[in-house]
Amino acid sequence: MKKVLLTAMAFLVLVVASAQTEEELKAQIAPKKDSIAAIQGRVNALQAQLDALPGWKIGAFGTIGGSLSQFNNWFAQGIPNNSSGNIGFTVNAFANLQEEKFFWRNAANVNLAWVKLDDKDDPTDDDSFRQATDVFNISSLYGRKLSEHFAISTLAEYRTTLLSNFNDPGYLDLGVGATWTPIPDLIVVIHPLNYNFVFSSEDTIFESSMGAKIVADYTKQIGAVSFKSNLSMFQSYKSSDLSNWTWTNSFSYTLWKMIGVGFDFGLRNNKQETLNYIVNRAPTPDPAATFDTIDNELQTYWTLGLSYKF
| pLDDT for 21 | 66
Contact 205, 276 (CB under 8 A): yes
Within this chain, do residues 268 and 124 fall inside the same structural domain, yes or no?
yes
- Can you give the residue range of the structural domain that contains 3? 1-53
Within this chain, do residues 42 and 168 fall inside the same structural domain, yes or no?
no
Q: Domain containing 101 — which CATH number?
A: 2.40.230
Within this chain, do residues 38 and 4 fall inside the same structural domain, yes or no?
yes
Within this chain, do residues 21 and 121 fall inside the same structural domain, yes or no?
no
Looking at the structure of the chain, the number of domains it has is: 2
Question: What distance in Å separates the CA atoms of residue 203 and residue 172, rounded to the nearest whole number?
Answer: 16
**Among residues 276, 268, 275, which one has the least CA distance to residue 295?**
275
| pLDDT for 64 | 87
Within this chain, do residues 97 and 240 fall inside the same structural domain, yes or no?
yes
Within this chain, do residues 46 and 95 fall inside the same structural domain, yes or no?
no
Within this chain, do residues 28 and 130 fall inside the same structural domain, yes or no?
no
Within this chain, do residues 157 and 184 fall inside the same structural domain, yes or no?
yes
Within this chain, do residues 239 and 275 fall inside the same structural domain, yes or no?
yes
| pLDDT for 220 | 87
Please report, in tens digits, the pLDDT of each residue of the chain (310 residues total): 655 555 656 555 555 555 556 666 666 676 766 666 666 566 666 666 666 667 899 988 888 888 778 888 776 777 888 888 888 888 989 999 999 999 999 999 999 999 988 888 888 888 888 888 888 999 999 999 999 999 999 999 999 999 888 998 999 999 999 999 999 889 999 999 999 999 998 878 999 999 999 999 998 888 888 889 999 999 999 999 999 999 999 988 888 888 899 888 899 999 999 999 999 988 899 999 999 999 888 999 888 888 887 6
| pLDDT for 32 | 62
Within this chain, do residues 72 and 198 fall inside the same structural domain, yes or no?
yes
Within this chain, do residues 6 and 79 fall inside the same structural domain, yes or no?
no
Within this chain, do residues 28 and 163 fall inside the same structural domain, yes or no?
no
Domain ends where: 32, 53, 74? 53
| pLDDT for 19 | 53
